[in-house]
Structure 1
Amino acid sequence: MSKSFKAFVLNKTDGQFTAGVQSLTFDDLPAGDVTVRVEYSSINYKDGLACLPESPVVASYPMVPGIDLAGVVAESNDPRFEVGQEVIAIGRDLGIAHFGGYAEYTRLPAAWLEPLPAGLTLKQAMMLGTAGFTAGLSIQRLEENGLVPGDGRVLVTGATGGVGSTAVNMLAGLGYDVSASTGKADEHDYLRSLGATEILGRDEVSAATGAPLEGERWAAGIDPVGGDTLAYLLRTTRYRGSVANCGLTGGPALTTTVLPFILRGVNLLGIDSVQCPPDVRARVWQRLASDLKPAGLADAIATEVTLDEIPATAGSILAGAVRGRTLVSL
């Protein structure tokens, strides 16, 4: 098909980086089993990294970024998906090594797609998107390791970001006592509206210390920050508690000791939404449409942008200046 459509394309020609809206055709799309008419995508931290001229995540050019998408099947060579069916896709190589969600159409391997679960609209699915899925997967892993409401306070770091804000709202909806940390003094009311009952400053949870262990304060933690903040969580989590780490906005280096693990039996859970197994992925999406569906889902959107507005928003998300989630409307 030669049908033309709009896409936000990153490219490098003779070392010259470009980023902007272009007209593509179906012939430009990569190989795949299913062609999807995209209705919504979103802007995540990884998308911000993809839009940098010297991106540390993009594998090849030209590239259409966007690590998640929701839309309607336009063509299918796989019996699992029918034309007109509503579907979602996150992670895998989307927006990094395979054209992603910042286009009116894309073509994907069928194994990367999930049917939209009952209980979510396409727009709500992208209000959650990769960030919401990561928050839900973090909670599921914590619960698999024994966490239940009533165990004690759960700390969510980087709480005004996409993962953090949805995690706060999900945990509160499940009945957990939620504490939230942020470096934004003017966002405390926002976090309380999501369900946090205690707010900590960023300095408190990232201060370096020579102590390998501190007082047992947290039943569990969800940490999209890493770095010194993750080290703080490990040395302050209670005996046999768990910390789910799902990000590195505070840096990839981790300075800690083995003492939280061998003296308190603390579990450090790595959360990977990119290559998550299909059965786990399906279960998390079902929960996102039911018991994990945030009560404040509609309020989690900071803004809704067009393809032309992606560069400015990507820069803001890298600078930590975006609250909650940002949708890209196609």
Structure 2
Amino acid sequence: MTDTFKAYLLRESEDRKVSGAFEDVAVSDLPAPSPEGGDVTVRVAYSTVNYKDGMVMNGIGRLVRTYPHVPGVDFSGTVEASDNPGFTPGDKVVLTGWRVGEMHWGGYGELARVKGDWLVKLPDGLSLSRAMALGTAGFTAGLAIDTLEGAGMQPAEGEVLVTGAAGGVGSVAVALLAAKGYSVAAATGRSETHDYLKDLGADALVDRAALSEPPSRPLNKERFQAAIDNVGGSTLANLLTQISYGGSVAAVGLAGGNEVTTTVLPFLLRGVNLLGIDSVMCPAARRQKVWQMIAETLPMQKLDAISHSHPFDELPALGKAILKGEVRGRAVVTVGGE
């Protein structure tokens, strides 16, 4: 192991302005991620750019408490050193969640030191780069589908809606659902994404504007057996009025707002389930199960269509672009490569 590694390091000035730059960081400066320490060191191959990463890199939301800080909420790579009995040097691993990139140093450095309990061994059939083409967004989509199927969603029971369908979570959700045999309706406000969504497997396209207004009545015509909602706000309230009897909505995002004004009638008269999806603190055993399902189900050519690769030095520009809605699908950043 070398004495230093390249990382994108954030610093905070006295007036609390956050700035970032690529720096050579001493390996000895890698902080332990918890009072219990970090028992696995990973040589990072790839990371991604998520909306939360854009916020962190640009000092929005005060998600980071301690500086200097290495952002990057997910990464894939190879174990370099381990004091954890579950991992040995050479193991290929993936990390998403656990407040890495926020409370703990993340994937925008050539090395990362984490707790072994946070790592998932790379499933068979998945490369390190494709693991990050999925990343937090792909894992969240898989977790939402697994949760909905646990609540009774089945391909034969009708249409499934995905809102924010052209984003990272939405894109993977559309492709995964289609691969599992579901009839998928994709909601988007951008007409230029229609062909893209159809290529991923969407059977129907729904105008985002048709869902974004507050519902006009407590119950509307039943249309969807289930939905994966990236938007929240009035879109989620509208969705709840259109879910079929016994159906479910998996809430995964809040791009349209974190407040939902609705009635209890969808729950009382149609038995609708509102299921919260938390990919951050999801237990390790379930993580492994979901990652394996994704690796076995998702056609790799669909994943390749969703993702695009970028060199490490493009990271700052990507962090600004994603906040402007200018990043479609999944942006994979080559940190060290395979």
TM class by smaller structure = over 0.9
Q: CA deviation at 1:258?
A: 1.1
The answer for the alignment partner of 2:18 in structure 1 is: 17
State whether structure 2 residue 324 is matched by structure 1 residue 319. Answer: yes
| Residue correspondence of structure 1 range 1-330 to structure 2 within 5 A | 3-14=3-14, 15-31=16-32, 32-292=38-298, 295-301=301-307, 303-330=308-335
What amino acid maps onto 1:248 in structure 2?
A: L
Q: Work out the CA distance in 2 between the residues paired with 1:245 and 1:137.
A: 11
Q: Work out the CA distance in 1 between the residues paired with 2:276 and 2:128.
A: 28
CA 327–222 in structure 1, closer or farther in 2 if over 3 Å, else same: same
What amino acid maps onto 1:312 in structure 2?
A: A
Check conservation: 1:169, 1:295, Cα contact below 8 A. Answer: no
What amino acid maps onto 1:17 in structure 2?
A: V
Check conservation: 1:170, 1:294, Cα contact below 8 A. Answer: no
Q: CA deviation at 1:62?
A: 1.6
Q: CA deviation at 1:181?
A: 0.5
The superposition leaves residues 267-323 of structure 1 with CA deviations (integer Å, 9 ceiling, x where unpaired) of 00000000001221111011111124555011111x322333222212222222211
Q: CA deviation at 1:164?
A: 0.1
Q: Work out the CA distance in 2 between the residues paired with 1:168 and 1:61.
A: 38
Q: CA deviation at 1:174?
A: 0.4
Check conservation: 1:166, 1:294, Cα contact below 8 A. Answer: no
Q: CA deviation at 1:229?
A: 1.2
Q: Work out the CA distance in 2 between the residues paired with 1:311 and 1:255.
A: 37
Q: Work out the CA distance in 1 between the residues paired with 2:300 and 2:252.
A: 19
* Other structure's SS at 1:92 match: coil
Q: CA deviation at 1:80?
A: 1.3
* Other structure's SS at 2:297 match: coil
CA 276–19 in structure 1, closer or farther in 2 if over 3 Å, else same: same
Check conservation: 1:20, 1:308, Cα contact below 8 A. Answer: no
* Other structure's SS at 2:313 match: helix
CA 98–293 in structure 1, closer or farther in 2 if over 3 Å, else same: farther
The answer for the alignment partner of 2:35 in structure 1 is: none
What amino acid maps onto 2:24 in structure 1?
A: S
* Other structure's SS at 1:287 match: helix
User: How high is the sequence identity, in percent, across the aligned residues?
Assistant: 50
* Other structure's SS at 1:48 match: helix
Check conservation: 1:21, 1:307, Cα contact below 8 A. Answer: no
The superposition leaves residues 156-214 of structure 1 with CA deviations (integer Å, 9 ceiling, x where unpaired) of 00000000000000000000000001111111000000000111111011122331111
Q: CA deviation at 1:56?
A: 3.5
Q: CA deviation at 1:46?
A: 1.3
The superposition leaves residues 86-144 of structure 1 with CA deviations (integer Å, 9 ceiling, x where unpaired) of 11111002100111011111111111111111111111111111100000000000000
Q: Work out the CA distance in 1 between the residues paired with 2:202 and 2:25.
A: 45
- Output the TM-score relative to the length of structure 2: 0.94
Q: Give the superposed CA RMSD.
A: 1.3
* Other structure's SS at 2:155 match: coil
Q: Work out the CA distance in 2 between the residues paired with 1:161 and 1:89.
A: 21
Where does structure 2 lack aligned partners over 5 or more consecutive residues? 33-37
Q: CA deviation at 1:28?
A: 1.3
Of stretches 202-211 and 110-119 in structure 1, the one that deviates more from structure 2 is 202-211
Check conservation: 2:18, 2:58, Cα contact below 8 A. Answer: no
* Other structure's SS at 1:190 match: helix
Check conservation: 1:169, 1:294, Cα contact below 8 A. Answer: no
